[in-house]
Chains A and B, each alone.
Chain A
Amino acid sequence: MPVISFDAVTKVYPLPAGDITALAGIDLAIEKGEFVLIMGPSGSGKSTLLNIMGSLDVPTSGEVTIAGKRISGMDDDELTLMRRDHIGFIFQQFNLIPLLSVVENVEYPLILKGRRNGSRERAHEVLRAVGITESHFTHKPGELSGGQQQRVAIARALVNDPDFLLCDEPTGNLDTKTGTAIMDLLARMNREEGKTVVMVTHDPRMTEYADRTIQMVDGRLA
C-alpha cells in the first residue's frame, strides 16, 4: 500500500475575481522507501500539493490517503494528529523554536505525543544520528550555523519515527557545500533507514538523489 496516494485530487481557491484552480486532477502514489522530487515553476501547484500531503490542507474534491487514512472529512485536530504522528516536516528556513535549546526542539514532538519517559535519550540518539555533536545539544538554535540548524530540524522531523519526510526546499537557505551535506544526510536516511522522502525543489541538481522526479505544470503532473 502506498504511503501517500492521490486519486483525482483537485484544489480550487475561490476568489472574488474568479476561482483559481491550484490542483486540477492529480493521481499519484508514493510507495514506502521512495525518494521523490516534486519540481515545477512557481504557481504550478507544488506548494498546494505539499500542503495537502502534509495534512495542512484538504482537497476540494478527490481522495487523499496518507499512511492508510483518508484525510477528507478530518477535522482540525485529526489533521494535526496526522502531522504529529505520521509526517516529518523539513522547511527551507529550518523553523526551529528559538526559545528551546537544540535538544528541546527535537524532544518537543515526543512531548506533544505524551512520551516523557526516555524522550531526552531519544532526542540525543537522533541528534547524534544527524551529526550534531553533544556540545551543541544545550545551545539555542540561533547559536548554530544554518547547516547545523537544518540537521537539528531533520532530527526533529525524524524523532517521532514518521511514515515520510516532507521537505520544502531544504537546501534553499544553505550554501552549496552545506546543501550537499544535508542532501547526503537525507539520502542516507532514505537508503539506510528506509525513510520515505518527498521533496519540493527548484534545484535540478537534486534529481540525482531521487528515485523519481515529478514535474508539475499548471496544477497537473507533466
Chain B
Amino acid sequence: MTFLDLARRNVSRHWLRSALAVTGIVIGVVAIATMGILGNSIGLMFNDMVSDVGDTIVVSPAMSGTGGDKLTKRQVDDITRAAGANRVITIPFASTFDKMSVGEKRGGAMIYAMPAGDIPLLLEKEAGAYPRDTGTGCMIGSQLAEMSKETGLKLGARVTIDGETLRVVGVLKERGMGFDINPDYAIIVPYSWYSRHYDEDEYDQVVVKVRDINDLDAVKESIEQKMNRREDVVSVMDTKAILESVFAAADSITVFLLGIGAISLLVAGVSILNVMLMSVTERIKEIGVLRSIGTRRHEVMRMFIYEALILGVVGAVIGGALSFGAGYVITAVIVENPDYLFNPTSLLYIVFGMAFGIFTSAASGLYPAWKAAQLNPIQALRHE
C-alpha cells in the first residue's frame, strides 16, 4: 500500500464520477490530437504539392512587353543559357484549344505541344508509349481517358484535330492542378507536328525544372537579368513563392484547429477541478484523521495529485488510442491519404495531446490538493 495505491482506490470508489471526468479528458485529448493531425495533414498535402512542382519556374512573354505574346526559338535558347543548362531542364511548349473528333464523336480539347523528347521529362505516363517527333502519335490526359465513353478517346483511338488524324499512343498519369500546364483534360502532341500543322515556330511558355531546389532563386534571377535587361520581355514566376504563402495559411489552420482542441481540454480540466474539489470536501474528516495520525501536508497533497494524475493518465491513454482511430478517419476522408497519419509529425500530435491532457489534469488537481493539505487537522476531525 502506497499513496498511489490509496489514490487509485479513491478514484475507483466513485467510479462513475471518475469515469465522467476521464471522459472529459478523453474528448479533450482526441480533439487536440485529431485537430493537430488534420492541420498537419493539410500541411503535408501542400508539402507534397511543393515537392511535385516546387522546383518549377514558368517563363512567359511579358504582358506589357513589346516582343509579342510568343517566345521565339532564339529566346528559348537564351533562357536555357541564362538558366545554366547543366542545372535545369527547359521545356518550351505551345498550346491551343481546338476542335477534335473521334469517329462520330465531336468535341474540343486543350492541345499542348512540346518537343517529343521533353514530354517524359514533364509528364508521367500511365499506359502506352510517348509519341515520337517523326510520327503522328499523341497522348491524352487521364481525365479524357476516363471519359472515353463520351469522348471516344482511348489508347489506340484515332483522333482528328483540325482535319488531320493522330493516333493515341499513350495515356498520361493524373497530375492534378499545376502551375505550368494542366494536362489531365488535354491532348499532348509533339511540337514537330504542331509546328507543321499550325505553321508556327514560336512557343507560349517555357517550363524550367530546377534540378536542385536550392538553385531556384538564383536561376530565376539569372533569367530575369538576361531577358529583361532593357525592357520586360518575359515574366518569370516560380511556384515556391506561391506555395510558401499556401504553407503559411496551412500553419494558421493548424494553430486554429489546435486552439479548438485546447479549449475542449480546458473544459475537461475544469471538470477534473470540480471532481477533485468534491473529493476533498467529502473527505475532510478522513483528511483530519490522516493528518492527526502523522500524515504530513505534502503527503496529503501527493495523494490528491496522484488522484488527478490517474484520471489524466487513464484519459490520455484512452484518448491517445481513440485519436489514432479518429486520425485515420480524418486523413482517409478529409485529405484522402491515410499515410499522413503515420508521418512522425502527425503522430507527435497524439503524443502532444496526451501530454497536454496529463498536464491539464495534474494542474487541475493542484488547487484541490493544496486545499486538502492546508486543512487544520483539529477542525477537519470535528467535521461531520
Interface on A for B, CB 8 Å cutoff?
A: 51, 54, 56-57, 76-77, 80-81, 83-85, 89, 91, 95-100, 104, 107-109, 111-113, 156-157, 160
Contacts and interface: CB of A to CB of B under 8 A. Distances in A.
Contact of B378 (A56, A81, A156): A56
B163 interface: no
Contacts of A54: 292
B296 to A, nearest CB: 5
Contacts of B377: 56
A80 B1 contact: no
B378 A97 contact: no
Given A99-B9, A99-B13, A77 B296 contact: yes
Contacts of B292: 54, 56, 83, 89
A121 to B, nearest CB: 15
Interface stretch (B123-131, B135-143, B250-258, B283-291): B283-291
Given A85-B294, A112-B293, 12 more contacts: A56-B377, A56-B378, A81-B294, A89-B293, A96-B289, A99-B6, A108-B1, A109-B293, A111-B2, A112-B294, A113-B294, A156-B293
Contacts of A113: 294
Interface string B257-290: 0000000000000000000000000000110011
Given A57-B378, A97-B289, A99-B13, A109 B294 contact: yes
9 contacts: A56-B292, A76-B296, A80-B294, A83-B292, A89-B292, A91-B381, A97-B290, A104-B1, A157-B293
A54 B291 CA distance: 12
Contacts of A104: 1
B299 interface: yes
Given A97-B289, A107-B1, A112 B295 contact: yes
A81 B294 CA distance: 6
B272 to A, nearest CB: 20
User: For the complex, would chain A's binding face be called helix, strand, loop or mixed by DSSP majority?
Assistant: helix
A108 B197 CA distance: 98
B10 A99 contact: yes
A76 B297 contact: yes
B294 A83 contact: yes
Nearest to A104: B1
Contacts of B289: 91, 95-97
Contacts of B291: 80
Contact of B293 (A77, A99, A108): A108
B297 A80 contact: yes
Contacts of A100: 1, 6, 9
Nearest to A78: B296
B305 to A, nearest CB: 17
Nearest to A103: B1
A104 B295 CA distance: 15
Contact of B294 (A51, A57, A84): A84
A107 B286 CA distance: 16
Contacts of B10: 99
A84 B378 contact: no
A83 B295 CA distance: 9
Nearest to B300: A80
A21 to B, nearest CB: 17
B239 to A, nearest CB: 66
Contacts of A112: 293-295, 299
A85 B17 CA distance: 37
B268 to A, nearest CB: 26
Closest 5 CB pairs of A and B: A84-B294, A95-B289, A99-B9, A80-B296, A83-B294
A112 B290 CA distance: 10
Interface string B51-81: 0000000000000000000000000000000
A54 B377 CA distance: 11
Contact of A111 (B1, B296, B297): B1
A80 B9 contact: no
B322 to A, nearest CB: 30
Nearest to B285: A95
Contacts of B285: 95
B295 to A, nearest CB: 6
A81 B296 contact: yes
Contacts of B296: 76-77, 80-81
B43 to A, nearest CB: 49
Given A51-B378, A95-B289, A77 B294 contact: no
A96 B292 CA distance: 12
Nearest to A98: B286
Interface string B1-23: 11000100110010000000000
Contacts of A109: 293-294
Nearest to A107: B1
Contacts of A76: 296-297
Contacts of B297: 76-77, 80
A29 to B, nearest CB: 24
Contacts of A56: 292, 377-378
A84 B10 CA distance: 23
Nearest to B296: A80
Contacts of B299: 112
Nearest to B374: A76
Nearest to B297: A76
A89 B6 CA distance: 21
B286 A97 contact: yes
Nearest to B1: A104
A28 to B, nearest CB: 20
